[in-house]
Structure 1
Amino acid sequence: MTTTAQRHLLLNMTANGSLGSEGEELLVIRRGEGPYVDDTDGRRYIDGMSGLYCCQLGYSYGPEFAEVADRQLRELCYSPLWSGSAHPTAIELAERLSRIAPVDIEHTFFSGGGAEAVETAWKIARRYHALRGEPGRVKTIARRGAYHGLTVGALSFTDDPGLTEPYGPSAIETRFVSNTNRLGLAPEFADDEVYTAWLLAELEVAILTEGPQTVAMLIAEPVQNRGGCITPPHGYWQGLRALADRYGFLLVADEVITAFGRLGEWFGGDLYGARPDLVTVAKGITAGYAPMGATLVTDHVAEVINRPGQVLNHGFTFSGHPLSAAIALRSLDIMERDRILDHVRGLQDDFARRMSALRDLPIVGDVRGAGFFYSCELVGDLEGGRFSDTARTALVADLIPRRLREAGLLARVYNRSAPLVQVAPPLISDRAVLDRIAAIVSDTLTEASARI
């Protein structure tokens, strides 16, 4: 199977030419059950990443989703949300989302995934400002180290040269400001009030430097995934809202990862008092059982772009596909019926304690996260916590990912400027599974600490 993949399959974000019998091993997942997946060699793993932050419900609800898929496909396999046409399943899902969405958000624009949802947010923001007589609002503000997708527009909101430079200049002019990672900062920033004030002051300087009349939107995740589950200090999202209101730009909460229970709430921003104008979602909306993305829009924005005679010249062939919409509705039904949010809330404190205990290991500089979403930022053998090339190659690129997998855990090991080990298990994981995840990570990083 590896040989066939080498010949015909181009993998995402992969050094495809390095795969093979003498290179990196290709992991081929064959089936899933509960929070576990099995590979083609019969080895079982805890899926510590919910696929790619998608499989909120794990892998045992297939029959329920197959039933609703069969019914939908027998009734209507496809109908576009295009030029005045719609279908009942997309309408029902949009209404359902409005019931659980943040305050004042009543409208949904469907897409195929997270990057498309982000692109949509940008286009809606531009259209909104232009219709209000401010066509000069053409810039975005994003946070350093963040990731919002790999389409050309969404990629503009990422400052990683490894991702951006191969494709030339950014399509959208973006100003980057600090994220909310406190590791390595001055001791006074341990105080939330001090840190929030500093972050917002830096942001306001950036807005004024760019020119407030040029800024269309600010995009941020409630908990920033890239860089390691970076949580915000108290008051941060309220401060973002105040600056957006003061200077007239739109506030976008990228909830592609943090929505639908990942942090114990329908929307992660609810945990931090966020009041965005736009919310981007994907991944967990269907629990990984079908592809879908969406951009949720507040009333005051929709009122502008929906002015009589105005056309929103934007769309996707498979927006709100009947099958995906039906599966998303069933996923929401299951989450409510099986009290998935309550399950996460009931276990998240214990999981936090188990993960936080990893701070005692020499190789762990910080542990961050919320709900079922945690990361360990690693520190190395050089001054300032940096890794030497030797240590990075031996530990971050080899030993840590290999030992995690040998112990039966699929986790994410970032080998970038700040090496990380990240876990985001299915929301149906019980206490024993969460304890096992923490134990495997602890054992692995204990061995790595001994070798540092």
Structure 2
Amino acid sequence: MTTTSTRTPADGLSATAARHLLLNMTPNGSLGQDGENLFVVRRGEGPYLEDADGRRHIDGLSGLYCCQLGYSYAPEFAEAAERQLRELCFSPLWSSSAHPTAIELAERLARIAPEGVEATFFSGGGAEAVETAWKIARRYHALRGEPGRTKAISRRGAYHGLTIGALSLTDDPGLREPYGPGAIDTSFVSNTNRFRLSPAYADDEVYSAHLLAELEAAVLAEGPETIAMLIAEPVQNRGGCITPPEGYWPGLRALADRYGFLLVADEVITAFGRLGEWFGGDLYGSRPDIITVAKGITAGYAPMGATMVGDRVVEVINQPGAVLNHGYTFAGHPLSAAIALRSLEIMERDRILENVRGHQDHLATRMNALADLSIVGDVRGAGFFYALELVGDLDGGGFSDRARADLVAGLIPRRLREAGLLARVYNRAAPLVQIAPPLISDRQLLDRIADILAETLAEASARL
């Protein structure tokens, strides 16, 4: 008798992964003995990803906010990588040594950076960039004769990375508590999410004044002379694409100047076109002292992070005799730098920022229309970066345990995947659906994303 195997091409990979691969931010023990709950991606093309069984999906998250250019530029990046590797495979930015590709990239970043930001310290990713920002801030204050500035301010719900220093700036007890006390003494103030707040805060001037007054009170309570820096994203990712009210970032700048701490813009997600600008903070008048970037700097084709530093900070940390005793072996790796340069070149040549600007209003219209569905409580975002906050079956908009399990953890992510859309579905205190499509997306693709979201959430609404 002949038997036919029902195993798919993904099954072998999934089983091997379950035995040997520890995934990031994952309950690895829940994957199953044979990795039956693992999604295996095999290849990409344009804005699409193909899984190990050959099914095609719209990458509605740009590979976790990294793949700004999608997946069709591989030949160009391969050519840039081969050219670099034939010339120089590795040389560290260490002990008075550098290499031409990192120098060229630093100069290129200075040309597109906000005014007054001219220098870059490279790293391997976003968390390292944030750690670097903290150490530069501490060094800056110490060199100015203020070593007592040892505290930071971050915002509630913020995520700034998982290394032990960056984790201290991340407001998520589930992530922090397993590792004990934070390495940095951090105070958390409100983010800029207006959903569920008083209607009075619909007025930008009123809301900004409220937030800035809270921040100033926190600074005074901690002692202004103890605060080294405040870190914030132009649009906060955690909590769902939370945009700021007009006047908020200029107000942060004014408070930083008044009390002497540094203002750090975490642009790991929002830089390099996500909001239609090289740096998302430019939309909101951010004027930071330090900018952290990663993800889109290489369009996902290689790992890289960077901390971009304003002139007045550089003047202090570069004073004669001062040593910036901080570094990473692979910071500014020649291969990653070459790929970052090619990514910036492609973005300019193919007018990627213009594509976002040309389609962002249409995407906003399609996303805002989803607010008509009963399960959608709020729609927020900018550029190609949007979130829907879901409301449930309880008074006040919360979800019962059953509704959360059936809809947020069950039906919604399953239906999105079945329809061929990779989106992020948060199943935490504020259930969310988030998209961040590749910046090459055209109107037809954006419409398809919106249609899938509408169909899925309409079904979920009917089941509430």
TM-score calculated relative to the size of structure 1:
0.99
**1:442 matches 2:446:** no
Structure 1 window deviating more from structure 2 (15-24 vs 132-141): it is 15-24
1:386-413 deviation line (CA, Å, top 9, x unaligned)? 1111111111111100000000000000
Match of 2:9 in 1: none
In structure 2, how many angstroms separate the alpha carbons of the residues matched to 1:187 and 1:330?
47
| 1:177 corresponds to | 189
Deviation at residue 177 of structure 1 after TM alignment: 0.3
User: Match of 1:34?
Assistant: 46
What residue in structure 1 maps to residue 260 of structure 2?
248
Question: How far apart are 1:24 and its partner, in Å?
Answer: 5.6
Aligned AA for 1:69? Answer: A
* Structure 2 letter corresponding to 1:367: V
Take 1:39 and 1:21, find their aligned partners in 2: how far apart are those partners? 20
Counting only pairs closer than 5 Å after superposition, residues 351-390 of structure 1 correspond to structure 2 as 351-390=363-402
**Distance between the aligned counterparts of 2:161 and 2:107, measured in 1?**
26
Partner of 1:425: 437
User: Cα offset for 1:20?
Assistant: 2.8
State TM-score, norm by structure 2. 0.97
Rounded to whole Å, the distance in 2 between the matches of 1:344 and 1:145 is 27
In the alignment, which residue of structure 1 is the partner of 2:123?
111
For 1:11 and 1:414, locate their aligned partners in 2 and report how far apart those are by CA, in whole Å.
18
Instruction: Give the alignment of 1:76-225 within 5 angstroms.
Output: 76-225=88-237
Distance 1:134 1:34 in 2: 51
* 1:294 match: 306
| Aligned counterpart, 1:267 | 279
Which of the numbers 41, 49, 70 marks the counterpart of 1:58? Answer: 70
Cα displacement (A) at 1:385: 1.1
Give 1:103 deviation, angstroms: 1.2
CA distance in 1, matches of 2:445, 2:389: 22
Task: Quote the offset at 1:251 in angstroms.
Answer: 0.2
Aligned length: 452
Q: Quote how far apart the aligned CAs of 1:22 are.
A: 7.9
Which range is displaced more, 439-448 or 256-265?
A: 439-448
Give per-residue Cα distances to partners, 1:105-137, cap 9 Å, x unaligned. Answer: 000000000000000000000000000000000
Q: Any residues of structure 2 matched to 1:291-330 within 5 Å, and which?
A: 291-330=303-342
1:71 aligns with 2:83: yes
Q: Distance in 2 between matches of 1:338 and 1:331?
A: 10
1:414, 1:308 → 2: CA distance? 49
Asked if the contact 1:18–1:24 (Cα under 8 Å) also holds between the matched residues in 2, the reply is no
- Give the superposed CA RMSD: 0.8
How far is 1:319 from its partner? Answer: 0.2
The one-character-per-residue Cα deviations of 1:410-444 (angstroms, maximum 9, x if unpaired) are 00000011000000000001111100001101111
- Matched to 1:66, the amino acid is A
CA offset digits 1:199-257 (Å, max 9, x no partner)? 00000000000000000000000000000000000000000000000000000000000
- Aligned position for 2:6: none
SS state at 1:383 partner: coil
For structure 1, the residue ranges without an aligned partner over 5 or more in a row are none
Cα drift, residue 13 of structure 1: 0.5
| 1:150-192 superposed Cα distances (whole Å, 9 cap, x missing partner) | 0000000112110000000111000000000000000100000
- For residues 113 and 198 of structure 1, the distance between their equivalents in structure 2, rounded to whole angstroms, comes to 34
User: 1:345-365 CA deviation, whole Å, 9 max, x = no partner?
Assistant: 000000000000011111111
Q: How many Å separate the matches in 1 of 2:171 and 2:70?
A: 33
Query: For 2:260 and 2:224, how far apart are their aligned partners in 1?
Result: 8
SS of residue paired to 2:396: helix
Give 5+ residue unaligned stretches, structure 2.
1-12
1:6 aligns with one of 5, 18, 25: 18
